[in-house]
Amino acid sequence: MPNGSQIAPNAEAPSAPRRIVLVGYPGAQSLDLIGPLEVFSMSNHLGEAKVYDIVLASPQGGEILCNSGVRLGGAVALEELSGEIDTLLVAGGHWPSVQMACDGEVPAWLCAHHERVRRIGSVCSGSFILAASGLLDHRRATTHWAFSDEFRAFRPAVQLEVDAIFVADPPFFTSAGVTSGIDLCLSLVEADQGSQLALAVARNLVLFLRRAGGQTQYSHALRLQAGASGRLRELIAEWSGNPVGDLSLPNMASRAAMSERTFSRVFKKETGMSPAAFVEAARVDRAKALLEVSDWPLARVAERAGFGGLSGLHRGFQRRLGVTPNEYRARFGRLK
């Protein structure tokens, strides 16, 4: 299991609203800015009082032209930011824009002013800009999975965790691709204001479930479908969506119109995984989802995930994740 991240709650809440600074630049991903903005803004609306003062910032201030063509106005120039900052998040963006930003004002500003920021983080490829400052060296971090190779080459001193939704290595907090910035911000809200407000925000934003740091960015099914072709891709999607059925080797080979030997060889060649390993991974993925959103007994989870019983569920979790189902639920189960 990836080395996940737990964001510790603050012992005391400040009397004044916490100042949140969201940093963009020309070509920034609009959702990397708007997603966190909505989480913190919704916290103000749903909380008992205003708990966050949200500031949009950029190197030059004024308007930010995002990669989607959306224009965000009212940004404060970085050099005009004064005083203490509770949390600063750097957005990701269009790859050429990120590369330009790595050589621009943001990394230099972070180097000069990081000591007056309590928490510094990034969303998606914004991790490159944060890493360019040197502040992430010898720290744990994550980024969008598609840029993992580029990140390792760009800053090998950073301990990259490719699979994580977000990574907390205080005072630094990095999140993975695009919407994972919302997951990170929900966890920051939970640490600041408690689980009830964080869950209320998640419900209001109609998020299907709360993902925590340490969960994988994408499922085995998506990865395998990307490598498979034609009929096999369709079957992988079907079997992943319903891992409860008969997924014995004879039945799977028959559905693919192949002999068992040919099916095993083709499946392994196209996916890098044996059919048996795929079945177990699909069932573990289903069990993980059930553990995250339900209070069902483990026996029911095992049944609904396609395992023959509790022993199969436990073996799958130990082999795939290195934890028991109960340990997984304790860490990633729904907020109470």
Report the amino acid identity of residue 302: A
Domain coordinates of the chain in residue numbers? 18-204, 220-332
User: Percent helix, strand, coil in the chain (nearest 5)?
Assistant: 50, 15, 35
What's the CA gap between 198 and 250, in Å, rounded? 47
184 to 146, 168, 242: CA distances (angstroms): 19, 9, 30
What's the CA gap between 5 and 164, in Å, rounded? 9
Instruction: Give strand ranges (E) for 125-205.
Output: 140-141, 159-160, 166-169, 172-175
At 322 the three-state DSSP class reads coil
What's the CA gap between 58 and 22, in Å, rounded? 8
The residues near 204 (Cβ < 8 Å, ≥ 6 apart) are: 42, 46
232 to 49, 141, 260: CA distances (angstroms): 54, 35, 14
Q: Which fold has domain 220-332?
A: Arc Repressor Mutant, subunit A (1.10.10)
pLDDT by residue, tens only, the chain of 336 residues: 333 455 666 645 557 899 999 999 999 999 999 999 999 999 999 988 999 999 999 999 999 999 999 999 999 999 999 999 999 999 999 999 999 999 999 999 999 999 999 999 999 999 999 999 999 999 999 999 889 999 999 999 999 988 788 899 999 999 998 788 998 999 999 899 988 898 889 888 877 545 555 556 555 665 666 667 778 888 988 898 889 989 999 999 999 999 999 999 999 998 888 999 999 999 998 998 888 778 899 999 999 999 989 999 999 999 888 889 998 888 777 654
Six token digits for residue 93: 């963006």
Q: Name the strand (E) or helix (H) holding 150.
A: helix 148-154
By the 8 A CB rule, do 273 and 232 touch?
no
Q: Which fold has domain 18-204?
A: Rossmann fold (3.40.50)
- Report the Cα 120 to chain-centroid distance in Å: 17
What's the CA gap between 318 and 229, in Å, rounded? 31
